Amino acid sequence: MKPYERWLARLLHIFLTAVVLIIIFLKETEMHFAINNGTQYYVEAYLLLVTLTVLLYFVCSFLDPGYVVRRSADIETVVIFHSKDDVAELLKNEEDDDSETSKMIQNNARNIRLRQCGYCEIMQPLRARHCEECGRCVRRYDHHCPWIGNCVGERNHKFFFAFLCAETALIGWSTYIIFKAFVPELMLKEWFTKNWMFLFSIIFLIICVIVSGLLTLCHSYMMFTAQTTWEFMSRPRISYLKIFPEHYNPFDKGYLMNMVSFLCYCNYQQWDNMYTKP
């Protein structure tokens, strides 16, 4: 993804948000009447949600998602950590990315496979994946989101989830405000003349709230089950998952601990420490 494409996505997001806010605050809506009537708590609550949503968007967009840092001693570190006796073989290219000439180092004792990226030529930590859009390897890679112009990985996934929750709430509230603003008229032509802006706005908002709501549900499921979108969609082709039964997740610690780990853990997690057979 080129830099100008990232900025176009960000500018488009701000533009669409601004258009909806202008309609809500300047047209004869519930929000407009609340300002005139002095109902400040209603206006302040809405503006607080808008501010939170915009801040979370830019945090997701600009925060390092968890890029794997290139280090000259990557391979030596792996050999020392696992000992030479544990290095069994260099595996063939992994099926989940045919374009990469990737190598694996297998630890027999714990069945952990460390992958050498064919693009970056660095040893990937467990659950990391190379993003072709960003040109970098990302820890606990989830997906590349063109809307935020950034990858979603171990460092920014919780902020992305918070953004989805806030965005869904904001769009839902905005849809309610627009819906209440429709002016009833008996004649269709007069009705359309007075409500055309509200009509197009609510169609756009309904589409957005459906998309953001579904994404929120999907990432809630990923959070509670300790999965990533990439792992969920590509499990049969991922070397460290396809060896297990389909129902088993080696990173699952239970719904509550999965949620706590997802939302509260700040440092990079050592996934190889919890990678065990059933």
| DSSP codes of every residue in 152-212 | E-TTTHHHHHHHHHHHHHHHHHHHHHHHHTPPP-SSHHHHHHHHHHHHHHHHHHHHHHHHH
On the 0-12 / 13-18 / 19+ scale of CB atoms within 10 A, 188 is exposed
Q: pLDDT in tens for each of the 278 residues of the chain?
A: 778 889 999 999 999 999 999 999 999 999 999 998 878 899 999 999 999 999 999 999 999 999 998 764 444 344 333 433 443 333 334 444 444 434 444 443 345 556 788 888 888 899 999 999 988 999 999 999 999 999 999 999 999 999 999 999 999 999 999 999 999 888 888 999 999 999 999 999 999 999 999 999 999 999 999 999 999 999 999 988 988 998 899 999 999 999 999 999 888 888 888 776 55
Catalytic annotation, pick one of 120, 145, 151, 165: 145
CB crowding 105-142: b at 16 or more within 10 Å, else e:
bbbeeeebbbbbbebbebbbbbbbbbbebbebbbbbbb
CA dist list (Å): 192 to 177, 188, 207, 213, 224? 18, 6, 20, 29, 45
Query: What is this structure's pTM?
Result: 0.83
Confirm whether 145 is a catalytic residue: yes
3-class state of residue 108 by DSSP: coil
Determine the Cα–Cα distance for residues 278 and 275; give it in Å rounded to an integer.
10
Provide the pLDDT for residue 276: 65
**Closest CA relative to residue 123, chosen from 78, 82, 67, 64:** 78
Strand partners, 115: 104, 124
Domain boundaries, the chain: 3-70+122-275
- CA 70 to chain centroid: 24
The DSSP 8-state label assigned to residue 67 in this structure reads B
> How high is the pLDDT of residue 94?
40
- 85 contact partners, CB below 8 Å, separation of at least 6: none
- Taking the C-alpha atoms of residue 126 and residue 269, their distance in angstroms, rounded to an integer, is 10
Per the DSSP assignment, residues forming a β-bridge with 143 are 152
Q: Determine the pLDDT at residue 79.
A: 39
